Amino acid sequence: MHKIRMGMVGGGKGAFIGAVHRMAAALDGEIELVCGAFSQDPSRSVESGRILGLDDNRIYGNYQQMFAREARLPKDEAMEFVVIVTPNHLHFPIACAALEAGFHVLCDKPATSKLSDAETLQDLIGQTGKLYGLTYSYSGYPMVEEARQRIASGQFGKIRRIMVQYAQGWLSKAVEKSGNKQAIWRLDPDQAGQSCCMGDIGTHAFHLAEYVSAMRVSEICADIGPSVADRVLDDDGTVLLRFTNGARGSLMASQICVGEENALKLQIYGEEGSLNWSQQEPNTLILKWHDRPHEIIRSGGVGLSRPAQAMCRLPAGHPEGYLEAFANIYRAFADGIRQFPERGELNFPGIDDGVRGMKFVETVVTSSSSDQKWFSLNSIKGEYK
Amino acid sequence: MHKIRMGMVGGGKGAFIGAVHRMAAALDGEIELVCGAFSQDPSRSVESGRILGLDDNRIYGNYQQMFAREARLPKDEAMEFVVIVTPNHLHFPIACAALEAGFHVLCDKPATSKLSDAETLQDLIGQTGKLYGLTYSYSGYPMVEEARQRIASGQFGKIRRIMVQYAQGWLSKAVEKSGNKQAIWRLDPDQAGQSCCMGDIGTHAFHLAEYVSAMRVSEICADIGPSVADRVLDDDGTVLLRFTNGARGSLMASQICVGEENALKLQIYGEEGSLNWSQQEPNTLILKWHDRPHEIIRSGGVGLSRPAQAMCRLPAGHPEGYLEAFANIYRAFADGIRQFPERGELNFPGIDDGVRGMKFVETVVTSSSSDQKWFSLNSIKGEYK
Amino acid sequence: MHKIRMGMVGGGKGAFIGAVHRMAAALDGEIELVCGAFSQDPSRSVESGRILGLDDNRIYGNYQQMFAREARLPKDEAMEFVVIVTPNHLHFPIACAALEAGFHVLCDKPATSKLSDAETLQDLIGQTGKLYGLTYSYSGYPMVEEARQRIASGQFGKIRRIMVQYAQGWLSKAVEKSGNKQAIWRLDPDQAGQSCCMGDIGTHAFHLAEYVSAMRVSEICADIGPSVADRVLDDDGTVLLRFTNGARGSLMASQICVGEENALKLQIYGEEGSLNWSQQEPNTLILKWHDRPHEIIRSGGVGLSRPAQAMCRLPAGHPEGYLEAFANIYRAFADGIRQFPERGELNFPGIDDGVRGMKFVETVVTSSSSDQKWFSLNSIKGEYK
Amino acid sequence: MHKIRMGMVGGGKGAFIGAVHRMAAALDGEIELVCGAFSQDPSRSVESGRILGLDDNRIYGNYQQMFAREARLPKDEAMEFVVIVTPNHLHFPIACAALEAGFHVLCDKPATSKLSDAETLQDLIGQTGKLYGLTYSYSGYPMVEEARQRIASGQFGKIRRIMVQYAQGWLSKAVEKSGNKQAIWRLDPDQAGQSCCMGDIGTHAFHLAEYVSAMRVSEICADIGPSVADRVLDDDGTVLLRFTNGARGSLMASQICVGEENALKLQIYGEEGSLNWSQQEPNTLILKWHDRPHEIIRSGGVGLSRPAQAMCRLPAGHPEGYLEAFANIYRAFADGIRQFPERGELNFPGIDDGVRGMKFVETVVTSSSSDQKWFSLNSIKGEYK
């Protein structure tokens, strides 16, 4: 079985998320990093590529160069897809360039910096017919998949309430004033767009809620804002949710919850049963029932649906974590490439999720500063598959 | 030490909450049940009183009779306070009658069925000078007190976010159609007033949030409603909260969360630290910090404030529960009577809490059906001590 | 319904365990404290009795006096049973005197200071025909009863492994040298007998294992001893267990486990399923199965056996704790008195449990200092009902 | 940075543990699989190698061939170390052959099938001067390292009690009779040696206890055996432990604990504090103290020692699991090769751990069938570094 050949834009020496992507891509031995433009500084790109063991002739000074040259290499040598792990505002132009050069694209979240760009990208993907994946990493957890399968099976009955919380504490102090680079760009409207917290983690929470439930939020009412002096963008907020089927819910996202690490939690209540999942203990899914004892479903354990089981690499009791979830998205994307141009079930998030997320963020920002209570989240674009 | 003499209105044979009150009152051996009007049906009242071991001449057919006769008994024999555990709509008239007959009053929550009555009662209490307590039972937990003390100490810095959830599942099916009496009256506007879920458990959550934080909610935005066919009153909802100090938060109360028992949870985030308490594991308080490991504070354990320690009856590791919390309110109320007419610190909820709760429920109901986003919760009345 | 009349020996002002017994007895309002000999110091006894609201003529200077006078009171006035909460070495003579004076006896654990006394007491109980209860308090938890019922039902199949741990930390420092009275007498061979830790808490663990499983330990192999300088008696140890049915297991008891509170845990593994209970979270029983998801059984919740349900006072989610468990033993004992001399099912621990516990401690002490590996725990006396 | 070149013996198509090793080796992108003898069946070896993307000329029919040919390849092309993932009884001859051919060796646990072989191997390693690593995988967890660092720092004072439990349930039924290959060989004395459970998982528990505490077990007393009909080897047992410093403890290992997954737990109690770690929630380390609240230490979080921090790949709240722990051993081994022949701190388990483990298993088996209570575990060989 040949390894799928990956190129990377961004992710140079010291960049955190680039390393995460490389570990996720490497884990299953099915993907090989063959080239990269790791930095806008060519010498830094070379240095980074060498550390990664690449030949100098596959290390590029910029993405334009990389796409041009790789497109001319023999088909069994050239990269097959590019992963984009640059700052957010570059996601859109790089993705467009890659698609137009004939490459599949896997992109770190978010797809673009604004909704209109996401919609443009959506069109371009349709036109080129290439694969496009978005690393909403939490959807790669087996227990998230199990939750999704169980809801789809109808065993909980009609869903009536969905709560999702995403609490972090790393922005509880003004770290943007003391040199924290992650904080600086995320809190800068020029680089981050109109939202910090909702854009960064609120979208993950929103995606998780809709992805697992297969339901759509129809209306929202938001209260977000900055909590630390001198900030312009939100670092905290809550959103009331109404779903198309009449269910109520809420979404909380905050980066000022002191002491919280990465506390993403999902609770879904149906007529007959409910589920509870927490990202920090990802291998456990708790089910509660109307008329019988609570159940604990475990990654790798008994009673899993086939799709969730297929996402487990280890027997129950051998914890799998964030990198394994991330790697599941890579594996699904590599599967998609292997079968391309056939398209079976593509089990990874894509541009529709990206458009939907942008719609959510823009509506939340609009809502929060308005006296109007409810704002619609319906859109013609951005329908889920 | 003489035992404080208690009379009871309501709580006849088979009434759940009456039994809870009696156990809470009995636990510490400082209170003695001396008389009661246990039912509006005199023969049922007698039967109930006999089961409880009362002499027939202290079992009454109605509360009017009881107040009249007990008021004429020798001071060292007559009841000193009455506890009201009738259906909600009777709380107000009985409390007024008791105060006017010269008795202290302890009342099951809510104080009244509507805000204006609560305000009237507030005035009457002031005029009579008698003690009035309201059994917001969750404030009796030692770890709730510990949370309150720590916030008061300022160790968390300014509070920025408060989340409180109260999830139950017992109304997830239409049990009001199959004879569940608790459900029938709570879902009947004539008996329950304008709200089921928010009035029943939302007020507990609201009280807990304000009580522990010593902060006031200034504005709310609510989305509540019924989830089960043919219901008129809410069984589920979420409320966005804004506090006078600028903090944001949310309150969720639901009785259709299938499989949830009595899941009341409180999370409070300040600038320097945060706390997390869950009623179903009441002896643990989790603290999280900006710059050091999480801490687990335990009932009866090391590091407790003096007031919290005083509310623990047992050494750490010997679980105390709901009845012990409830008994702490009884003990505080009995202490109040012992020192009366002196008034030291009265460490139990009272009419101000009751007025505040009624204000909350009425505003939530108004908000939920309005297109206006925010409603003020400020009021001249109902200020906390 | 008349209240069962209780007398108390021991438990004067400031004595911890006396207060626990009184709270447990009071909780359900079915038992009334009518007299007591609370201290060997008569003036202290009077002072204690008055605080408890007793008439002076029912406060006695010693137990002999109390038994003699109460025996002469009218039958509907005299105490019906005595609870013994003195230091351990007095349990035996007081119990004998009470039985001989015609009273039922409820005694704090242990029954006696040595095995031979326990056997003598066993005989005397048989001769007098009176009720005798021993407050092995942990058997009063509803989830312990649920565990016992489920094992009895056979749903776990043959039991193969039983592990019980009881970890405390309060003797991890030499507190006996700094005035801790509980530590002083427990570590003094003259007052505590031949064992501190195994006698104090190891017996609880042993009782729990045999009580829940309805199995008998046939052989043990122990390693116990003191861990802190200058101690003579054990503060820590482990015992290998073999059961008559061939099952293996272990019992750990330690009072030097720094930071542990009262961590009594039980794990039982059968052929088809297993159970896990922890005293510090007493309202939860976890079941694990061969072929289906783990289940969480909850106090007051769905799926409980009738006997366990009957031991719950509150709906699920309203935590019950140590005092409620203790009160369940009192309630069962009061039921026994009510039906006396009829004897239905007596659902409280008795002298057989006491004899068995003494046999365990003596054998553990013998084993620990021997080079012989296994010691038998079989005995003709001490058979369980 | 060049990638360290790895060859693999065993781990052909469908072999579970081979895949685990490959994922662990691949994760950090620092190691490259360059050759393999994946099966004793040459055609199966070729098939496996091709799936893994190897060139045919680096796929070998047996290890002898592989070692011979790789030894003749240019130094910058030949494999640098071999990982052995064959059935256990082949570990010894293959490791010897590899060392003698000049290769470093990383071997799946156990080092050999019997103690004497392990000691022979220990000598050979000394003579060849090559690196030898043993994948005691649980020592690769950051929180295990944190536990070790904290004990080494002395903050818990003298250690007095160590408890380690390793409970699995997968052998609770006679799966060896229904074709489970893992069960068949592990329960066959010819293939597994003298022990099943103690050899397979008891050794992990033993290693963890000694590794984290840096203490040595001096004496043991064991009770092990088969629990399921027709088994010859142990599937369950408990071992009393005495440590050289006088501490007591116990080790439990069982494969018949129905419903348990891979429940490896470690509790260590010192004079001043204690720690608690559970493999199934590996990112949390709980510390308990004499005089202050419990602390929760978290992977990637605040308060970690530098060595533990260095083993975390992700920020707190992004769970890392079994594969990441395993990969830490690979990374440490690759570091060792990079600096070879210099030897800085080698932070991976080696042959001394292997010898010690074999000594433990042999002594446990001897003890269990003896009437003698204690057996010494001291040995001149097998001293830890």
Residues 6+ apart with CB under 8 A from A36: A7, A8, A9, A11, A45, A48, A49, A52, A54, A58, A59, A60, A66
Flag if B287 and D293 touch (Cβ within 8 Å): yes
C175 touches chain B (CB under 8 A): no
pLDDT of A383 over the 60 cut: no
pLDDT of residue D191: 85
Query: CA–CA separation, A108 vs A201, rounded Å?
Result: 13
pLDDT of residue D347: 87
- Does the beta carbon of A1 lie under 8 angstroms from any beta carbon of chain D? yes
As a whole number, mean pLDDT of residues A280-301 equals: 97
- Please enumerate in sequence order all residues whose Cβ is within 8 A of that of B228, keeping only pairs 6 or more positions apart, or say none: B171, B172, B173, B174, B235, B256
**H/E segment holding residue C239:** strand C236-243
User: Please, how many CA atoms are within 13 Å of residue B371, restricted to the half-sphere of its CB?
Assistant: 2
Cβ atoms of B374 and A372 closer than 8 Å: no
φ/ψ (deg, to 5) at C38: -85, -15
Could you tell me the residue ranges of all domains in chain A?
Answer: 4-134, 142-280+283-314+350-368
Q: How far apart are CA C319 and CA B349, in angstroms?
A: 21
Q: Do B259 and A287 touch (CB under 8 A)?
A: yes
| Mean of all residue pLDDT scores within chain D | 95
Neighbours of chain A (3+ CB pairs under 8 A): B, C, D
Tell me whether residues B248 and A259 touch, CB distance under 8 A: no
Structure-token pair, residue C187 = 């570590």
**Residue of C290, C294, C374 lying closest to D172 (CB–CB):** C290
pLDDT tops 60 at residue D302: yes
CATH superfamily of B141-280+283-309+350-368: Dihydrodipicolinate Reductase; domain 2 (3.30.360.10)
- The residue-averaged pLDDT of C199-220 equals 97
The mean pLDDT of D127-133, rounded to a whole number, is 97
Q: Which residue's entry shows tokens 């208690």? A: B6
Q: What DSSP line would sit under B40-100, residue for residue?
A: SSHHHHHHHHHHTT--GGGB-SSHHHHHHHHHHS-TTTS-SEEEEES-GGGHHHHHHHHHH
Q: What is the pLDDT of residue D174?
A: 97
| Residues of chain C positioned with their CB less than 8 A from the CB of D259 | 273-274, 287-290, 294
- The helix-helix angle for A91-100 and A115-128 (nearest 10°) equals 10
Q: Quote the CA–CA distance of B23 and B20 in Å, as a whole number.
A: 5
Enumerate the residues of chain B whose CB falls inside 8 A of the CB of residue C168: 317
Question: For residue B382, what pLDDT is reported?
Answer: 40
Cα separation, B88 vs B117, whole angstroms = 12
pLDDT tens digit string along A117-173? 999 999 999 999 999 999 999 999 999 999 999 999 999 999 999 999 999 999 999
Residue D280 pLDDT more than 50?
yes
CA atoms within 13 A on the CB side of D168: 21
Q: Do C297 and A292 touch (CB under 8 A)?
A: no
* Residue C271 phi, psi (nearest 5): -75, -30
What is the fold, at CATH topology level, of the domain defined by D4-134?
Rossmann fold (3.40.50)
**Stretch D326-355: mean pLDDT, rounded?**
94
Q: Which residues contact B345 (CB under 8 A, 6 or more apart)?
A: none
- Contact of B56 with chain C, judged by CB distance below 8 Å, is answered with no
Q: Is the peptide bond before B349 cis (omega within 30 degrees of 0)?
A: no
- Does residue D276 belong to the interface with chain B, where contact is any CB pair within 8 Å? no
**Has residue A207 got a pLDDT over 90?**
yes
pLDDT digits (tens, 9 = 90+) for C340-355: 999 888 889 999 999 9
Confidence of residue A182 (pLDDT cuts 50, 70, 90): confident
The backbone torsions φ and ψ at residue A325, rounded to the nearest 5 degrees and listed phi first, read -65, -45
Please check the confidence at residue B1 and state whether its pLDDT lies above 80: no
Is pLDDT at B369 greater than 90 in this prediction? Answer: yes
Q: Please give the average per-residue pLDDT across D137-159, as a whole number.
A: 98
Q: Please, are residues D52 and D33 in contact by the beta-carbon 8 Å criterion?
A: yes
**A218-A220-A221 Cα angle (round to 5):** 160
For D140-160, what is the mean pLDDT?
Answer: 98
Residues in A closer than 8 angstroms to D20, CB to CB, are 314
**Count of CB atoms situated within 10 Å of the CB of A153:** 9
Average pLDDT over every residue of C257-278 = 98
pLDDT at C385: 37
- D31 — pLDDT class (breaks 50, 70, 90): very high
Q: Give backbone dihedrals phi and psi of C242, rounded to 5 degrees, phi first.
A: -125, 135
Residue C336 predicted with pLDDT over 50: yes
Strands (E), chain D: 4-10, 31-37, 81-85, 104-107, 132-134, 159-167, 217-225, 236-243, 248-254, 263-270, 273-278, 284-289, 294-298, 375-376
> Is B379's pLDDT higher than 90?
no
pLDDT tens for each residue of B259-281: 999 999 999 999 999 999 999 99
| Shortest Cα–Cα distance, B262 to chain A (Å) | 13
The domain at C140-280+283-315+351-368 falls in which architecture?
2-Layer Sandwich (3.30)
The answer to whether the Cβ–Cβ distance between D269 and C254 falls below 8 Å is yes
Least confident of A20-24, B381-385, D310-314: B381-385
For residue B307 the two structure tokens come to 């007031």
Residue D104 predicted with pLDDT over 50 = yes
A343 in Cβ contact with A211 (< 8 Å):
no
Give, in order, the Cα–Cα distances in Å from A136 to each of A205, A239, A352: 10, 20, 12
Using pLDDT thresholds of 50, 70 and 90, give the confidence band for residue B233: very high
Which residue bears the tokens 């500063």?
Answer: A369
Give A373 to chain B, closest Cα distance, Å.
4
Fold of A142-280+283-314+350-368: Dihydrodipicolinate Reductase; domain 2 (3.30.360)
Question: D295 and B295 in contact by Cβ < 8 A?
Answer: yes
Question: pLDDT at position B84, please?
Answer: 98
D304 interfaces chain B, CB cutoff of 8 Å? no
Provide the chain D residues 208-227 that lie in CB contact (below 8 A) with chain C.
Answer: 221, 223, 225, 227
What pLDDT sits at residue B167? 98
**Which of C250, C288, C290 lies nearest to residue D252, judging by beta carbons?**
C250
- CB proximity B325 to D under 8 Å: no
Interface touch C290/D259, C-beta < 8 Å: yes
Identify the band that residue C371 occupies on the pLDDT scale cut at 50, 70 and 90. very high
Residues of chain B with C-beta less than 8 angstroms from the C-beta of A273: 258-259
Q: State whether residue D160 is helix, strand or coil.
A: strand
Q: Is there a contact between C323 and B260 if contact means CB atoms under 8 Å apart?
A: no
- Which helix (H) or strand (E) segment holds residue C368: the answer is helix C351-368
pLDDT, residue B151, reads 98
How many residue pairs bridge chain B and chain D with CB atoms within 8 Å of each other?
A: 34
Task: Tell me the pLDDT band of D377, cut-offs 50, 70 and 90.
Answer: very high
Which chains does chain D touch, 3 or more C-beta pairs < 8 A? A, B, C
Separation in Å, CA of D175 to nearest CA in chain C? 12
pLDDT tops 50 at residue B380:
no
Q: Using a CB-CB distance cutoff of 8 angstroms, which residues of chain B are in contact with residue A258?
A: 156, 269-274, 288-290
Which residues 336-375 on chain B approach chain C with CB closer than 8 angstroms?
Answer: none
- Which pLDDT band holds residue C382 (cuts at 50, 70, 90)? very low
Band (D381; pLDDT cuts 50, 70, 90): very low
* CATH number of this structure's domain D142-280+283-315+350-368, picked from the four choices 3.40.640.10, 3.40.50.150, 3.30.70.2190, 3.30.360.10: 3.30.360.10
In this complex, do D302 and B287 lie within 8 Å of one another by their Cβ atoms?
no
Q: What integer is the mean pLDDT of B12-28?
A: 92
Q: Give the nearest chain A residue to B254 (CA atoms).
A: A161
pLDDT recorded at residue A379: 55
Residues of C in contact with B169 (CB under 8 A): none
**Segment C40-89, tens digit of pLDDT:** 899 999 999 999 999 999 999 999 999 999 999 999 999 999 999 998 89
Residue B385 has pLDDT above 50, yes or no: no
B256 pLDDT exceeds 50?
yes
- Nearest Cα of chain C lies from the Cα of B3 at a distance, in angstroms, of 7
Predicted local distance difference test score (pLDDT) of residue B145: 98
Please tell me the least confidently modeled range out of A44-48, A197-201, A380-384. Answer: A380-384
H or E element: which one contains B358?
helix B351-368
Is the confidence at residue B30, as pLDDT, over 50? yes
Instruction: Check CB contact under 8 Å for C296 and A295.
Output: yes
CA C212 to each of CA B166, C150, C197, C239: distance values in angstroms, whole numbers, following the listed order? 35, 9, 22, 18
Q: Which residues contact B55 (CB under 8 A, 6 or more apart)?
A: none
What mean pLDDT value characterizes chain A?
95
* Interface touch C315/B262, C-beta < 8 Å: yes
State what percent of residues in chain B have pLDDT above 70.
98
Percent with pLDDT over 90 in chain D:
91
Give one word for D14, left, alpha or beta, with left for phi > 0 and alpha for psi -120 to 50.
left
The residue-averaged pLDDT of C128-140 equals 97
SS3 label, residue D45: helix
What pLDDT score was predicted for residue A280? 98
Q: Which residue of B lies nearest to A239 if distances are taken between CA atoms?
A: B240
